[in-house]
Amino acid sequence: MKKILVLVRETFPTNEILTDKNVREKRVLNPYDEYALFQAKKIKEKTETEITCLFLSYRESQYGLRTALALGADRGIFVYYPGNSIPEIAKILAKEIKKVEYDAIFMGIRDVNNDREELPSRLAFALETELYPHILSVDVKEHFTVRREREETIDSLEILESGIFAFSQNVYEPEYPSIQSIMGIREKEVQEVYYSDGMVEKNVTVEYQDIHRKQEVYKKISASVGTEQLMEYMKKWKLVD
């Protein structure tokens, strides 16, 4: 049996006008992550598969996780973290993922409201695992096979090692939970983990700024003696011998 861990985040809706009144309440599943869940469900329909949804939220509402469970996840892990630091989020997720048995991690390449694509690479580094980015679709026989988007081509690859599959597709025919799947949520296991902002250990680097030196940098240098003055400053700052 394959065990797939799907990371799902919530984000602002992309088809509504947000106001000060509803911006805190209106959330949807991040489309890239929802597509990753959709791909995991397709595998589940073909072969025996268990899908665990690790749902990251900075609200205490579990509505998004319940939606993911209704869409096909077998069990859920609700991780509450109110911060927005990607390095800290990666550490938190890595800590929780290490407690779970899995054959592959599925997630979106990005948050639809954050185009930096930073989280998958940081998470792969924290877990010391492979990252397979820009995946369009995935299938499984003995191993996972994927279609991956390149700059000018689409590659078909067979993946032999476990890792993070980061999907770049977010335009697809959406699925909606059935009444039966919604009713079945109550029977599914949900684990809750709560973090407060600042609970993650930080490697703090202290940087000292030389204010006086910075002020001298902006001094005007006469063109006639510019070379000599530049050399004096560079020797003073130990940039040259």
CATH number at residue 50: 3.40.50.620
* Cβ–Cβ under 8 Å, residues 62 and 97: no
Residue 216 counted as domain residue: yes
Higher pLDDT, 125 or 142: 125
Report pLDDT for 229: 76
The first and second tokens of residue 239, run together, are: 């940039």
Beta-bridge partners for 64: none
Cα(199)–Cα(192) distance, integer angstroms: 16
One domain, residues 41 and 7: yes
Residue 122 counted as domain residue: yes
pLDDT tens digits for range 62-74: 999 999 999 999 9
> What band does 142 get if pLDDT is binned at 50, 70 and 90?
confident
Residue 202 counted as domain residue: no
Report pLDDT for 96: 97
pLDDT tens digits for range 158-173: 999 999 999 997 667 7
Residue 201 counted as domain residue: no
> What band does 22 get if pLDDT is binned at 50, 70 and 90?
low
Other beta carbons within 10 Å of 88: 19
Cα(181)–Cα(103) distance, integer angstroms: 25
One domain, residues 55 and 136: yes
pLDDT tens digits for range 203-230: 544 444 454 444 555 566 666 666 777 7
pLDDT tens digits for range 99-127: 999 999 999 999 987 768 999 999 999 99
One domain, residues 90 and 171: yes
Angle of helix 86-97 relative to helix 119-127, nearest 10 degrees?
A: 40
Burial class from Cβ neighbours inside 10 Å (0-12, 13-18, 19+) for residue 79 reads: buried
**At residue 134, does pLDDT exceed 70?**
yes
* Cβ–Cβ under 8 Å, residues 58 and 131: no
Residue 21 counted as domain residue: yes
Range of the domain at 215: 207-241
One domain, residues 33 and 151: yes
Cα(17)–Cα(32) distance, integer angstroms: 20
One domain, residues 58 and 155: yes
Residue 231 counted as domain residue: yes
One domain, residues 212 and 188: no
One domain, residues 19 and 74: yes
Residue 200 counted as domain residue: no
One domain, residues 12 and 65: yes
Number of domains in the chain: 2
One domain, residues 62 and 90: yes
Cα(6)–Cα(3) distance, integer angstroms: 10
Beta-bridge partners for 6: 53, 106
Cα(73)–Cα(62) distance, integer angstroms: 14
* Cβ–Cβ under 8 Å, residues 233 and 216: yes
**At residue 141, does pLDDT exceed 70?**
yes
CA distances (Å), origin 227, targets 98, 116, 195, 218, 240: 59, 42, 57, 16, 14
One domain, residues 68 and 40: yes
One domain, residues 149 and 241: no
One domain, residues 153 and 222: no
